Structure formats: C-alpha cells, structure tokens
Amino acid sequence: MIENTNVILLPIIIVLPIAAGILGYLIRRLRTELDFLGFFLTVYFSIRIFLNSRSQILSFSLGHLGDFSLRFYLDGYAGLILLFNAIVTFLIWFYSLRALSKTPKENMYYLYLGLTLGVANGVLLSGNLPLLAILLILILFAQYGFFHITKNDQYRPAPRSMAVIGMADVLMLLGMIILLIKTGGHWNIPFEPAISLTGFWTILA
C-alpha cells in the first residue's frame, strides 16, 4: 500500500459535490456557476485519482475516535467506478439545466444531486465497515429526497421505492455483520488476513 500527496483528494472528492449542492441551494443566483464548478472539479479530481489508482492503492486517514478510524481506501476498480460516477453525474446535471428549467423544486433537485454524488463517492472510498454503514444510511435519505421533487402524481411510488432501497441496505448491513463475525471483529478494508470465499456464510455476505 502506497501513500502519496494525492490521497488528500479522497475526502475532497466527497465534500466538493456536497458543498456545491448546498451553496447552490443557498445562493440561487449563482447556483449554475457553483454547481458547474463543483461537478466539473469532481470530474477533474476523479480523473487524477483514477490515474493514480492504476499504479498504486491509495489510503488516507483523517484521524481516530477510540477504535474507530475515519479511513478512506481506494484501489483500481473503485477508482474506475469513481470516475464513472463523476462523469455521469456531470452529464445529468448538464442535461437537467434545460430539461428542468423553471420547474418546481428545481433548486432541491440540484441539492440532492450533489448530496447523492458526494455520499456515493464516500461509499466507494470507505476504508472500514462502520463508515460504510453510516454512508449507506445517508445515501438512502438522499435518494428518498429525489422522490419528493417529482410531480405530484409520482409521490405514491416513493414509499415503495424507499422500501426496496431500504431492504437492500438492510441486507448489506447484515452482510457486514457476518463479515465482522467471520473476521473476528476486524472492520478495516481490505480484510487482513484475506477472507477465504469457501464458506457458505462468507459467500452469502
């Protein structure tokens, strides 16, 4: 595992789209400019992170709270998904500028778009299971917010969609509990020693 100066970009790639969404929501006159800056820089930093992840594993810790470490971890596969998320979100934002122009709750849409991208990046970069669990819960609420900025006749599917997404998160959390048990309470990612994918419960998790 190699650490270099580029690891500082890991928490930035989480905070940047969230900050852009919140500032754009608070300052409506500059919303387009702030959102463009936030999403464009997210793409730029994602490219840098992706290129670095091709040759090395990036790991960064912001500190410890008891036994809990606010740790970020990224390998080549996660770097590719991170870049994909950033590009797709930027294209969605660009398309939405015209498609959602002057529609009700347009401002809320861009807020939730930034929140969703930031938290999704956090899920990809999570370096331990507790942090991953927290971010999964946060992205659940961000997704729920999207359901309530659509047309009035589309409000009804929101609880059902929330239930499906919520059930998926619950299953993931159960998988994390199984992994904690199988690893003897080791929650850092990657698991050391590596988990053997031979047991039924390990494969199920």
Give CA–CA dist 75/52, Å, rounded: 9
For 203, the token pair is 């494969």
In the chain, which stretches have pLDDT less than 70?
A: 1-6, 63-69, 150-205
Do residues 185 and 177 make contact, with C-beta atoms less than 8 angstroms apart? no
Q: Output the pLDDT for position 191.
A: 47
Length of the chain equals: 205
**Measured CA distances, 73 to 43, 181, 193 (Å):** 19, 22, 17
Supply the DSSP symbol for 194.
Answer: P
Q: What is the DSSP letter of 8?
A: G
- The answer to whether the CB of 119 falls within 8 A of the CB of 138 is yes
- Reduce the DSSP state of residue 128 to 3 states and report it: strand
